[in-house]
Amino acid sequence: MRAAAVRCGKPETAAARAAVSRAGQRSQRPSRPAGTETVGTLRSMRAIVISEPGGPERLTLREVPDPEPGPGEVLVDVAATAVNRADINQRQGNYPPPPGAPEYPGLECSGHIAALGPETAASGWHVGDQVCALLSGGGYAERVAVPVGQLLPIPAGIGLAEAAGLPEVACTVWSNIFMTAGLRSGETLLVHGGGSGIGTFAVQLAHAWGARVFTTAGSDEKLQRCRELGADVTINYREEEFAERVHAETDGAGVDVILDIMGGSYLAANVRCLAVNGRLTIIGLMGGRSAELDLGRMLVKRLSVHATSLRSRPRAEKAAIVQGVAEHVWPLVEAGTVRPIVDREMPLAEAGEAHRTMESSAHIGKIVLTT
Ligand SMILES: NC(=O)c1ccc[n+]([C@@H]2O[C@H](COP(=O)([O-])OP(=O)(O)OC[C@H]3O[C@@H](n4cnc5c(N)ncnc54)[C@H](OP(=O)(O)O)[C@@H]3O)[C@@H](O)[C@H]2O)c1
């Protein structure tokens, strides 16, 4: 059985009551959201439930039991979450949560710490702290249990709602472009889908790092936005072959690193336009999961291909990524060099409509859902 958590509403020990009292003095926590109530001895909350795999209409707001923070976890009162492409795959039944993860969608959130679970006393986090968090699921809810290694402070100058859209993009971009591909200042980076949540963040961070940034997108409006965010070369993939344009812009040398969201349909062209010692990091399969890989070209150019998924990584790896983000990325966010790009905010109850918007690709940056 799990040890009792330190809950805001009902602290179970003197130490817990003291922690709650200290937290109350430190920050003004919002009152418990309307719509939550006690069911028997269990408290309940509202969460978006996928009634069965299918379209956006399958997302329904329901009363469900409160999560219980386990060892090394805290309970977060969610102020906002954000939509990711992976949520659409999960809704369609193609991307089940990893073992132990909450069943509700939502890979990131912001809010306040409502309770400390067991074995968190030395974590430095306190009840009442404002946080944002990388999740394995469960963000589309009023409360979620989060491993302490996946918590980040809200960067100074950033609002709670817009901070909800930062953890997933910051951790994905940092871990792939910098930790895995080792992008250096002065190198060239190609970001596919520059208008996406991931793309808008990658363009800004790589530009701030001193890279020459190329990006693709499907509309001139998105490309214009990418230029404003620091992209040097913008390519409308509906109107021209990106590999040819890369060759033209680099005098045939190619780019050093590619962050790819398409997978199979872009593999050949990606390998074609990588420079000697180039690194391709594949994070999405929007263009399919398989394709032929030209090993001859890889051998001659000494290329590497990486493919990663953040959600399925073990806790310790996620914690290392989060720590890297706090150290290297948060200072740039606090300085205003890298900004959260939020297309729109919608109420959590309208998650289905938010999914429709993402599937239409009408958005630029993140779609945030507020509780
Ligand atoms: N592996 C991981 O750990 C990880 C983590 C986070 C996200 N991801 C992946 O990253 C991708 C982006 O996620 P997101 O949440 O930021 O989604 P998103 O905002 O919906 O972005 C998807 C983007 O792809 C663009 N796109 C579609 N076809 C394209 C093409 N042929 N060439 C270039 N761009 C194209 C879309 O707009 P236009 O067509 O209008 O340009 C849209 O901007 C998804 O594949 C997601 O699964 C992976």
Other CB atoms within 10 Å distance of the CB of residue 180? 17
Strands 6-7 and 59-65: unpaired
Q: Which residues line ligand 1 (CB under 6 A)?
A: 84-86, 168, 172, 192-193, 195-198, 216-219, 222, 237, 261-262, 283-284, 286, 308-310, 358, 361
pLDDT digits (tens, 9 = 90+) for 229-275: 999 999 999 999 999 999 999 999 999 999 999 999 999 999 999 99
Q: Give distance in angstroms: CA of 123 to centre of ligand 1.
A: 34
Domain map of the chain by residue range? 6-166+340-370, 169-307
Amino acid identity, position 6? V
Give the domain 169-307 fold.
Answer: Rossmann fold (3.40.50)
Q: Mapping DSSP to helix (H, G, I), strand (E, B) and coil, where does residue 225 land?
A: helix
Class of domain 6-166+340-370: alpha beta
Tokens 């690194």 appear where? 279
Q: Give distance in angstroms: CA of 153 to centre of ligand 1.
A: 26
Q: In the prediction, which pLDDT does 43 show?
A: 83
Minimum CA distance residue for ligand 1 atom 19:
196
> Is the per-residue pLDDT at 215 higher than 70?
yes
Tokens 């408290």 appear where? 43
Query: Do 170 and 153 form a contact (C-beta atoms < 8 A)?
Result: no
How far is C-alpha 264 from the chain's CA centre? 23
Q: What is the pTM of this model?
A: 0.91
Query: Do 315 and 288 form a contact (C-beta atoms < 8 A)?
Result: no
Closest CA to 91 of 103, 109, 73: 103
Query: Do 281 and 183 form a contact (C-beta atoms < 8 A)?
Result: no
Structure-token pair, residue 302: 């000494």
Percent residues over pLDDT 90 in the chain: 88
> Is the per-residue pLDDT at 28 higher than 50?
no
Side-chain-facing half-sphere of 194: CA atoms under 13 Å: 35
Q: How far apart are CA 92 and CA 150, in angstroms?
A: 26
Structure-token pair, residue 2: 């799990």
Give, for ligand 1, the residue of 84, 312, 358 to mutate: max count of ligand atoms closer than 8 Å to Cβ.
84
Closest CA to 115 of 158, 156, 163, 66: 66
pLDDT digits (tens, 9 = 90+) for 38-65: 334 468 999 999 999 999 999 999 999 9
Our CA angle for 3, 4, 7, nearest 5°, is 145
Q: How far apart are CA 235 and CA 227, in angstroms?
A: 11
Phi, psi (rounded to 5 degrees) for 61 = -80, 120
Q: In the prediction, which pLDDT does 40 show?
A: 42
